[in-house]
Every structure is written in C-alpha cells, then in structure tokens.
Amino acid sequence: MRRSRRGLIAFVFARPPLRPPGARPEEEFAALCIRCNRCVAACPYKTLKPAGWIYGERAGTPLVVAREVPCYLCMACPPVCPTGALEPITDKRAVRMGVAVVDPQTCFAHQGILCRTCVDECPLEGEAIYQNGELKPVVTDKCVGCGVCEKVCPAPEVAIVVRPRGEGEGA
C-alpha cells in the first residue's frame, strides 16, 4: 500500500516515534533532548538515527525504525545522555519502548502456515511472545518493544509491528 506524501505526514504525526530504551514519556523526552546525538554514536548496532525533517520540531531527536534495525537492548545509549532524556536501565526486561502487535490477516501462523520466527528471535526468550496451543503468536505484557520480531518477520506484508507505548509511559 502506497501512501501519498500528505498521507505519510499525517501518519507520522498521528503517533510518536519509537524511542530508545530509557526514554522518558514523549513530551518530557522531546523537551529534554538536546539533539547531541551521543546516543546515536554510542549505539554499536546503528539502530538509533536522528528523526528527519518530517518530525517537525522533533527533528534530530533519536528514534528506532525497527523494520530497518531493531534495538538489541545493549543499553549503551542511556548512560551517554547528558540531559536525562534517557534514563539508565540495568535490566533489559524493564525497558518499555513499545509493544508488538500481531496482524492476524498477514501473520503466517494465523493463516495455518507453521512459523515461529518472532517467537524464536525474541531476546526475552518466550517471556514477551510465545505460541499458544494453536501455534499462533501471543504477545504478553512483558514485551519491551525492541522490534526484533518486526525485523525478522518473513511475511511479505510484515505481520508484527511495534507500536510506541502511550503517553505517560517511559523507559
């Protein structure tokens, strides 16, 4: 499905971007971030990148595009933040970047095709996502929103996406 430029801009502004681990709630994060890009430079996986012009006044703030490069939860970014926009986290299970959402219309397992790629690749090893008795993926409240499942999904139209957590939720 192609979006017009106007449609893409409306889509981008409809929800906040996926932020790095330890990010404070979106409004607070945006106010504290000085766009120094220390977190971007510290990321050994090149996961973090500065938001582009399409994000308006939030251009230059770090974000994660999970479909390109997910967060591998190395936690290298929070300690280098000079303003506290990213809070240090010691346990990767405490991260709350977002939450994975499965689309049953495009998920192979929901179509009766044996697939467990998202379950096998999850860095939380069965805690954040598991297969139920019908072999369909189930996302739990322990999902940290790293995006590994989105990156590895083999469906032609990616069947699992990470949505940023709602306002008021950080880490």
Residues linked to residue 64 through DSSP beta bridges, in sequence order: 18, 48
Cβ distance 50 to 60 under 8 Å? yes
Q: Which residues contact 122 (CB under 8 A, 6 or more apart)?
A: 128, 129, 148, 149
Tokens 């986290």 found at: 89
pLDDT band, very low/low/confident/very high, at 165 (cuts 50, 70, 90): confident
CATH number of 5-91: 3.30.70.20
Class of 96-164 per CATH?
A: alpha beta
Position 94 scores a pLDDT of 95
pLDDT band, very low/low/confident/very high, at 155 (cuts 50, 70, 90): very high
Q: In this structure, are strands 48-50 and 62-64 parallel, antiparallel, or unpaired?
A: antiparallel
- For residue 57, give both structure tokens: 């006044």
> What contacts 24+ positions apart, CB below 8 Å, involve 164-169?
164/15, 164/16, 164/17, 164/18, 164/19, 164/26, 164/97, 164/98, 165/96, 165/97, 165/98, 165/99, 167/16, 167/25, 167/26, 167/27, 168/25, 169/25, 169/96
Position 11 scores a pLDDT of 45
Position 34 scores a pLDDT of 97
- For residue 105, give both structure tokens: 């219309």
pTM of the model: 0.84
Percent of the chain scoring above 90 in pLDDT: 78
Q: Where in the chain is the domain with CATH 3.30.70.20?
A: 5-91, 96-164
Lowest mean pLDDT, pick from 49-58, 66-75, 135-144, 145-154: 49-58
